[in-house]
Chains A and B, each alone.
Chain A
Amino acid sequence: MVITAGPGVAALPEGGRVDFARLRRERRARLLEAMAEAGLDALVLGRPANITYASGARQLWTAGARPFGPGAVVMADSGEVHLLSTWDDGVPSEIGRDHLFGLSWNPGRIVANLAAIPGLASAPRIGTDGWSPGAGALVAAVAAGAEFIDAWPALAAARRVKTVDELACLRTAAAAAEAGMSALVEALRPGITERQLMGVHAAALARLGLPTPPIEAAASLMPGADGKPTALRRLVSDQAAEAGQMVALTAGALYAGYEATLSRTWLVGSEPGALGTASAGQRGIAGQARALRDARVAACRPGPLPASLGPDQSAGAEPVAWGVGLGMEAPLLGAGLGTGTELSAGMTLVVQAWAAGLSGPGGALEADLVLVGPEGPESLTRFGSCPALTAD
């Protein structure tokens, strides 16, 4: 099934777009299957994306890596999910109120809440998606005899191939990310700062009804000729755009927790909407980045990892591709990572390319969200290239 109504965020009376009940059901089935495969009796999850995968709960977006702590518990035998939530707002109806445990600051209460989950205290093998001396000790206190195991292999096995409804969410996120990119391109003008562009991007997505984007770094102006290789820079500055500068734009969006990201390199025109005229050097660098991206996208086929996506490759110092579903996920490919990875039909990857000259024009970044299809790759993001940087 595809999203026949096209991407949008409104509910449709006939039940069009994403079938969220089926989405949650299928995710949970995959998770339980992966747990059985890994011989896990219970999962204790702290990473918001994993909590969403297991529970379907709509969580509050916060920035930064969340410290490990028990946010959801999945029991293999019963298939039931217990959730850290003080209220039932945002909690799917299949998780009853008696399966919610409230926020607490008190270690004794947290242990008691977890110990009340049927079967957890006696579970022999418990998978966790993180560990820390503090929160780990709490979990260990609940199930003193348990063996605690890395849950990520099982989680990755469940998450890597997307269901039809997950793909529908990703396609919706893709359309939203493109809207963010469109807003960035529209806003480009001499004088606007990288930081202001970040605000333009975040506001464009919020207007669509989506939460704070998964990434905030939205614009990186390419410095002029300083004789040094230009580095791929993710952190925005207060640098203001000048006509004729190249700028690497990255847009990203979350829809129902699913992420789409794309990058394009654009030329700052002399006024809003003006194309500008790129130098031959700029066009050359931009063309290199597009060609490299196209080659990497074309390599996204089922089977052993191709060399073009392998550990020896990199984009700046970054990986050249990574898994994307409920946000960034394994595998990370390139920058020394990804040895032994197999690509499977139904995986979704962000694939990026970075090209930089030794002087003059700066660098160019291109990235798209790609579905590894049985017959070949499909780019889920679509957005044209900067006309000024593609002209002959």
Chain B
Amino acid sequence: MTPTSYSEGGLAKSINGAVLPDAPDLARMRTERHARLQAQMAAVGVDALLLLGTNPVGYTTGAEAPGADSGRAGLMRPVALVVGGDPQPHLFTPYPEGAPADLAGDHLHPAIYPELPDGAASAAAALSELVPAGGRLAVDELPHPLAAVLDSYEITGASGVLGPARLVKTADELACIRTAQSINETAMAQVQPRLRPGVRQNELSAWFLEAIFDLGATGNGIDPIWQVMPERLADGPWTTHGDVAFPTASTDRILRAGDVIWVDTGIDWRGYASDFGRTWLVEAGAAPTPSGRQAAQFRRWDEVMAAVLSILKPGVTALELGRAAIDANGGTRPWIEHFYLAHGVGTESAEMPMIGTDLGDAFDDRMVMQPGMVLVLEPVIWDEGAGGYRAEDIFAVTDDGWVALSDHPYDPYGERSW
């Protein structure tokens, strides 16, 4: 079948029978996520789930926390505890104002500090009141001070619970991703016209950051990338594998006429990540015009996208999608060796499913597309001697095909064909 273009009403397509809503119902989303976690806990025989990671806690509780660097986020962290059979999660947080309004008062607790020796003991005491000793406790992170006080539990990893729950999104989750992406795209549309020789990378970041919060973002996920690409691999940073270096951190680098920049930004909206990638050109004055080779790179990128999307539907394997991309690129792998053709996005900016990683063909062959899975497709067309083209777009697998969660032009390269 030919997938419906999202510009032609594809948004009405169903995901596990549910219609993608214009705006997410956050309370319903939390209830459905909690039910998935409970079902998965029961399936793998876990009595309680103790989560410390910023994004897993957000997924589990719906709690929001201010954006912070990893050091602060590690010490001042919301912590989630899900007890088997309990209708709601417990939340321990330094930011009670971020707790969902429908979280019961006896499930909202003061902050605990599991990374500190003098905080771990009180964390264990709080835990012991909620989870009987001897229980099987699944954890995502286990800082040494916490491990030292949890010896009355049987400890196991949380990935067996979190992984399956998060792999497939509810319709409300998809609406969150689409909202995040829309904010990100609108902000980038405001930034791109200001690109010209003499502008510095950090100035682009300033415009972007001001715009996303003006548009309602709840956080910035990653320092914006505005990487100037070399024409030849040998001109770029040295890499361990000889392939393209990307993404490298921005500085106050002054952008020059003729620069090809791969942009990559990501924001947070209500716990969900966006992922924006395009290739931009720096020229003075009027709109830049791609060279013949640059235009051909974009056409090739578009062909790869079209080939993948033409077979994307439930039942297709990641391996088949990867091979379709390689075939459309004339037998050459159209992605960077340390990355992938596609990754998922949700409460993590990159999560399963992934296509084309070094986990290998056998892994990809077992990864079968299901309705509600999300793919950020990011083919890279490298054209040694003339740089390359990279852009990414987000798709959800529907009950019979796909629907796009991103919608942004490819200026100054042209228009997509799919």
Residues of A within 8 A of B (CB): 9, 47-49, 58-68, 85-90, 97, 100-106, 109, 128, 130-134, 136, 149-150, 152, 195-196, 198-200, 202-204, 206-212, 214-217, 231, 233-236, 238, 254, 259, 317-318, 322, 326-330, 332, 335-339
**Residue B247 lies at the interface, judged by CB distance under 8 Å to chain A:** yes
**Out of B144, B155, B157, B241, which one reaches A86, CB within 8 Å?**
B241
Closest residue of chain A to B239 (Cβ to Cβ) is: A87
**Out of A132, A200, A259, which one reaches B157, CB within 8 Å?**
A132
Within 8 A of A (CB), among B43-61: 52-55
Complex contact B141–A67 (CB within 8 A): yes
Taking A133-B155, A337-B119 as contacts, is the C-beta distance between A207 and B357 under 8 angstroms? no
- A214→B219 CA distance, assembly (Å): 12
Complex contact B71–A48 (CB within 8 A): yes
- A63→B216 CA distance, assembly (Å): 17
Residues of A within 8 A of B321 (CB): none
How does the 8 Å CB contact mask read for B115-151 relative to A, with 1 for contact and 0 for none?
Answer: 1101100100000000000000001111111010000
Complex contact B338–A86 (CB within 8 A): yes
Residues of B within 8 A of A195 (CB): 213-214, 216-217
Residues of A within 8 A of B245 (CB): 86-87, 89
- A337→B142 CA distance, assembly (Å): 20
- A210→B75 CA distance, assembly (Å): 23
Q: How far is the CB of B14 from chain A (nearest CB, A)?
A: 32
Within 8 A of A (CB), among B347-404: 349, 354, 357-360
**Shortest 3 CB-CB contacts between residues of A and residues of B:** A327-B71, A199-B213, A133-B157
Complex contact B66–A209 (CB within 8 A): no
Complex contact B220–A212 (CB within 8 A): yes
Tell me the count of chain B residues lying within 8 A, CB to CB, of chain A: 85
Within 8 A of A (CB), among B145-169: 145, 147, 155-159
- A234→B68 CA distance, assembly (Å): 11
Complex contact B338–A102 (CB within 8 A): yes
**Out of A66, A106, A214, A217, which one reaches B358, CB within 8 Å?**
A106
**Residue B235 lies at the interface, judged by CB distance under 8 Å to chain A:** no
Complex contact A61–B249 (CB within 8 A): yes
Q: How far is the CB of B203 from chain A (nearest CB, A)?
A: 6
Within 8 A of A (CB), among B181-232: 200, 202-203, 205-207, 209-214, 216-217, 219-223, 225
Q: Looking at chain A's contact residues, is the secondary structure mostly helix, strand, loop, or mixed?
A: loop
- A90→B251 CA distance, assembly (Å): 10
Closest residue of chain B to A46 (Cβ to Cβ) is: B70
- A231→B95 CA distance, assembly (Å): 10
Task: List 21 contacting pairs A-B, 8 Å CB cutoff, sorted by A.
Answer: A48-B69, A61-B69, A63-B268, A64-B53, A65-B74, A86-B240, A105-B354, A133-B139, A133-B157, A134-B157, A152-B145, A195-B214, A196-B214, A203-B210, A206-B206, A216-B66, A234-B94, A235-B95, A318-B94, A327-B72, A332-B119
Closest residue of chain B to A337 (Cβ to Cβ) is: B118
**Out of B74, B140, B248, which one reaches A132, CB within 8 Å?**
B140
**Residue B410 lies at the interface, judged by CB distance under 8 Å to chain A:** no
**Out of B67, B111, B222, B237, which one reaches A88, CB within 8 Å?**
B237
Q: How far is the CB of B353 from chain A (nearest CB, A)?
A: 12
Complex contact B359–A106 (CB within 8 A): yes
Q: How far is the CB of B223 from chain A (nearest CB, A)?
A: 4
**Out of A208, A238, A332, which one reaches B113, CB within 8 Å?**
A332
**Out of A200, A203, A233, A328, which one reaches B72, CB within 8 Å?**
A328
Q: How far is the CB of B10 from chain A (nearest CB, A)?
A: 31
Residues of A within 8 A of B222 (CB): 60-63, 212
Residues of B within 8 A of A335 (CB): 111
Complex contact A206–B202 (CB within 8 A): yes
**Residue B100 lies at the interface, judged by CB distance under 8 Å to chain A:** no
Residues of A within 8 A of B360 (CB): 106
Among A86, A152, A217, A236, the one with the most B-chain Cβ atoms within 10 Å of its Cβ is A86
Q: How far is the CB of B337 from chain A (nearest CB, A)?
A: 8
Among A59, A199, A210, A330, the one with the most B-chain Cβ atoms within 10 Å of its Cβ is A199
Closest residue of chain A to B253 (Cβ to Cβ) is: A209
Residues of A within 8 A of B247 (CB): 60
Among A59, A90, A132, the one with the most B-chain Cβ atoms within 10 Å of its Cβ is A132
Closest residue of chain A to B207 (Cβ to Cβ) is: A203
- A338→B113 CA distance, assembly (Å): 12
Complex contact A64–B55 (CB within 8 A): yes
Closest residue of chain B to A67 (Cβ to Cβ) is: B53
Complex contact A202–B213 (CB within 8 A): yes
- A178→B237 CA distance, assembly (Å): 35
Q: How far is the CB of B152 from chain A (nearest CB, A)?
A: 17
- A339→B121 CA distance, assembly (Å): 13
Q: How far is the CB of A102 from chain B (nearest CB, A)?
A: 4
